[in-house]
């Protein structure tokens, strides 16, 4: 099994994916253990002094003015975990919780939090045992950390609350720890606070969304090319010299992908005698510009994610010179903004895909295709309602594109009077990514059927490879009406697991 070694300098996106989705084992580097021990010595020294230090010998948030005596500090750390584990609503997905836990461990191992090495080792042990704390949908405002989600994870480290075992059964966390020989942690000064105070949930969801969107943007280029071909459009608009004079890298990449898919097509440019065209509609002609803008948005979001993956987010933090200082690095604004930005790009990519699908089904704009791609129009409805489903998904995506990060709400008796709502931005982006996959699947389903209805004209070799792979996947082609939901579900899976891109690349080579 793959092993990810966590050091002091942060982790990579591939590390997060390996642990969250691939079940990779986690180990602490010797450097990380040394840094943990050194920072803990600093915290212990401050705890022994009479002067109050936030998070070490004081209360938290609006209660930070109270100095906590030594005999109450362990209770204080337990209490913050118990009281903050106040999530509600449905359970969060296993991969999100594993990413959340791993990223918190990453920050702990930076040596900036003052957590003891044994606490970090327990965090790694829980991940390696496949124990997943029960975390709920609601409870984070994206500031002072993803508090409730992280608290539910910390509760498991204490042997309290509920968690899911490797077999998928939810049981008391204490039982699961015992079965794996893991001793529950007894938290000391600052450790409870350090386990809760980070942007790890929203960051983990950002990293996974970026990975999914990498595949989906290439998938959208492929389906856009198939639709252009099925509509007998021109591929001249994909010429690299046209995109070079507006030098957005994402636009050039999308145009290059579409051109590669369409190479050798016998359909492009076949304008019918009774419906001559000078230009294709915007949804076809401007596909690289829209998808390219989304690609450039992905690049910006990836830069933010990389910076956050290298960060040590906690409050207070232990600095290299031994100072323990309060700060505002836990504010989720940098991550929240790009999560919202991605949701906007996703909604627009879905919107243009839906418009292309609608053109394929409209006999007045499809240049000779039967109405709704039906076998016997009137008797058969064809893909009429498949497009309704796609339109409903697009409408939902537009609602999900409304930014969460613009909706701060005060908390903690006005001490925490401006928050990022980054967790909420991440949650709605996950839904948006799922829905974009479905929208692309409907376009794929319609475009492959339309291409097969163009009798006497030969699709591009890459298009033919996609059609053949779709049919091998059990997704039926043209014919009389049938139960559509299974075909659409199969098309969704075909896009979701990357088979669409793989099929095209058997001819084109690697797409961008």
Taking only the tens place, the pLDDT of each residue in 68-93 is: 788 888 888 999 999 999 999 999 99
445 is catalytic: no
- Strand pairing class (136-138; 88-91): antiparallel
Residues 254-284 as b/e (b if ≥16 CB within 10 A, e otherwise) read: bbbbbbbbbbebebbebeeeeeeeeebeebb
- Residue 273 confidence (pLDDT) above 50: no
Mean pLDDT of 448-463: 96
Q: Tokens at residue 390, please?
A: 């796609």
DSSP, residue by residue, 268-308 = TT---TTS--SS--HHHHTHHHHHHHHHHHHHHHHHHHHHH
Q: Tokens at residue 448, please?
A: 């492959």
Residue 89 parent element (H or E): strand 88-91
Per-residue pLDDT of 155-183, as tens digits, reads 999 999 999 999 999 999 999 999 999 99
Share of the chain above pLDDT 90, in %: 86
- Residue 274 confidence (pLDDT) above 60: no
Mean pLDDT of 352-375: 97
Question: 54, 217, 337, 388: which is the annotated catalytic residue?
Answer: 54
Residue 250 confidence (pLDDT): 98
Residues 411-447 as b/e (b if ≥16 CB within 10 A, e otherwise) read: bbeeebeebbbbbbbbbbbbebbebbbbbbbbbbbbb
- Residue 276 confidence (pLDDT) above 70: no
Sequence-separated (6 or more) residues with CB below 8 Å from residue 32: 6, 7, 8, 109, 110, 111, 120
CA distance 264 to 225: 12
Mean pLDDT of 347-375: 97
Residue 412 confidence (pLDDT): 84
Residue 318 near residue 36, CB atoms below 8 Å: no
- Residue 22 confidence (pLDDT) above 70: yes
Residue 38 near residue 14, CB atoms below 8 Å: no
Residue 27 parent element (H or E): strand 25-28
Query: Model-level pTM greater than 0.85?
Result: yes
Residue 371 near residue 434, CB atoms below 8 Å: no
Residue 176 near residue 165, CB atoms below 8 Å: yes
Per-residue pLDDT of 94-148, as tens digits, reads 999 999 999 999 999 999 999 999 999 999 999 999 999 999 999 999 988 899 9
CA distance 447 to 495: 14
């Amino acid at each position: 099994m793959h092993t990810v070694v966590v050091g002091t300098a942060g982790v990579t996106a591939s590390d997060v994916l390996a642990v969250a989705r691939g079940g990779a084992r986690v180990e602490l580097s010797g450097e990380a253990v040394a840094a943990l021990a050194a920072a803990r010595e600093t915290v212990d020294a401050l705890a022994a002094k009479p002067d109050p230090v936030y998070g070490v010998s004081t209360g938290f948030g609006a209660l930070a003015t109270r100095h906590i005596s030594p005999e109450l500090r362990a209770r204080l750390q337990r209490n913050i975990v118990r009281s903050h584990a106040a999530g509600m609503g449905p359970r969060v997905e296993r991969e999100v919780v594993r990413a959340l836990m791993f990223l918190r461990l990453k920050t702990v191992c930076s040596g900036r939090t003052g957590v003891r090495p044994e606490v970090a080792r327990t965090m790694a042990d829980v991940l390696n045992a496949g124990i997943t704390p029960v975390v709920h949908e609601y409870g984070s405002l994206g500031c002072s950390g993803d508090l409730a989600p992280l608290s539910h994870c910390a509760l498991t480290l204490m042997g309290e609350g509920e968690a899911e075992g490797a077999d998928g059964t939810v049981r008391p966390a204490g039982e699961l720890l015992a079965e794996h020989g893991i001793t529950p942690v007894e938290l000391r000064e600052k450790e409870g606070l350090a386990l809760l105070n980070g942007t790890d949930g929203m960051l983990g969801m950002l990293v996974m969304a970026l990975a999914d969107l990498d595949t989906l943007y290439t998938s959208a280029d492929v389906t856009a090319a198939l639709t252009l071909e099925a509509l007998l459009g021109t591929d001249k608009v994909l010429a690299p010299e046209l995109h070079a004079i507006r030098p957005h890298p994402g636009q050039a990449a999308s145009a290059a992908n579409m051109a590669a898919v369409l190479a050798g097509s016998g359909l492009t440019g076949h304008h019918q005698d009774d419906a001559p065209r000078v230009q294709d509609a915007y949804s076809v002609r401007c596909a690289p510009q829209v998808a390219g803008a989304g690609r450039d948005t992905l690049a910006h979001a990836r830069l933010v994610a990389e910076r956050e993956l290298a960060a040590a987010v906690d409050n207070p933090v232990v600095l290299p010179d031994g100072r323990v200082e309060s700060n505002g690095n836990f504010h989720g604004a940098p991550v929240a903004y790009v999560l919202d930005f991605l949701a906007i790009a996703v909604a627009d990519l879905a919107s243009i895909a839906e418009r292309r699908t609608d053109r394929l089904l409209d006999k007045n704009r499809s240049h000779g295709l039967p109405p709704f791609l039906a076998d016997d129009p009137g008797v058969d409805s064809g893909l009429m309602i498949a497009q309704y489903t796609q339109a409903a998904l697009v409408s939902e995506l537009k609602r999900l594109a409304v930014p969460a990060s613009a909706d701060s709400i005060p908390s903690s008796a006005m001490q925490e009077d401006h928050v990022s709502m980054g967790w909420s931005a991440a949650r709605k982006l996950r839904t948006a990514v799922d829905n974009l996959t479905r929208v692309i699947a409907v376009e794929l389903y319609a475009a492959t059927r339309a291409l097969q209805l163009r009798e006497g004209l030969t699709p591009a070799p890459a298009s033919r490879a996609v059609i053949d792979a779709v049919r091998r996947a059990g997704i039926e082609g043209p014919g009389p009406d049938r139960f559509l939901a299974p075909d659409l579900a199969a098309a969704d899976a075909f896009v979701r697991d990357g088979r669409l891109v793989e099929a095209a690349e058997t001819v084109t080579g690697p797409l961008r």
